[in-house]
Amino acid sequence: MENNKVNIKNKKASFNYEFIDTYEAGMQLLGTEIKSIRNGKASIAEAYCTFIKDELFILNMHITEYDRGGFVNHEPLRKRKLLLHKHELEKLQKKLKDQGLTIIPIRLYISKSGYAKLQIALAKGKKTYDKREDLKEKDAKRNIDRLMKY
């Protein structure tokens, strides 16, 4: 099935943030938006999530205009509502009141049933020294793998 090949990741997220909890959310999309996502024309690198009137929205997620959309095309950077269960939304709102926590998108993909899903994480920003430690661990792992190969 061709639809399941869409897998857009936020590569900087794990470098800049420490994930506390992850959730899978649906999205309220327009017809031309889902077509662009299926073509792989979306970016979640600069995106973040915020609550507006007890509803969770994703902002700054760029979905390129559908090339055959005509006059019914969508705005590339519009805010989009995320669909979660009520208890999940309440849990996230309570945890967001802690200092330094934010909700960021990790991965955008098409589910087996054909819906666009967004994997989001409640995250805490890493300090510079934490980032350096991660880079050192990554280099050490790479060197060990390289030596094991020979």
Which residue from 135, 133, 138, 122 is spatially nearest to 17, judged by alpha carbons? Answer: 122
- DSSP letters along 22-85, please? EEEEEE---HHHHHHHHTT-EE-TT-EEEEETTEEEEES-EEPPPTT-GGGPPPTT--EEEE--
pTM: 0.75
Domains of the chain by start residue, with CATH: 2-149 (2.40.280.10)
At 16-48, the pLDDT tens digits run 888 888 999 999 888 888 888 888 888 888 888
Confidence of residue 134 (pLDDT cuts 50, 70, 90): confident
CA 79 to chain centre: 14
Q: Check: CB of residue 89 under 8 Å from CB of residue 53.
A: no
Amino acid present at 109: Y
What is the rounded average pLDDT of the residues 98-105? Answer: 84
Query: Does the pLDDT at position 123 exceed 50?
Result: yes
Confidence of residue 85 (pLDDT cuts 50, 70, 90): very high
- Tell me what pLDDT residue 4 has: 62
For residue 78, the model assigns a pLDDT of: 85
Looking at every residue in the chain, the average pLDDT score rounds to 84
With a cut of 60, say whether residue 3 has pLDDT above it.
no
- pLDDT value, residue 127: 78
3-state helix, strand, coil in the chain (%, to 5): 35, 35, 30
Q: Which residue has the higher pLDDT, 2 or 63?
A: 63
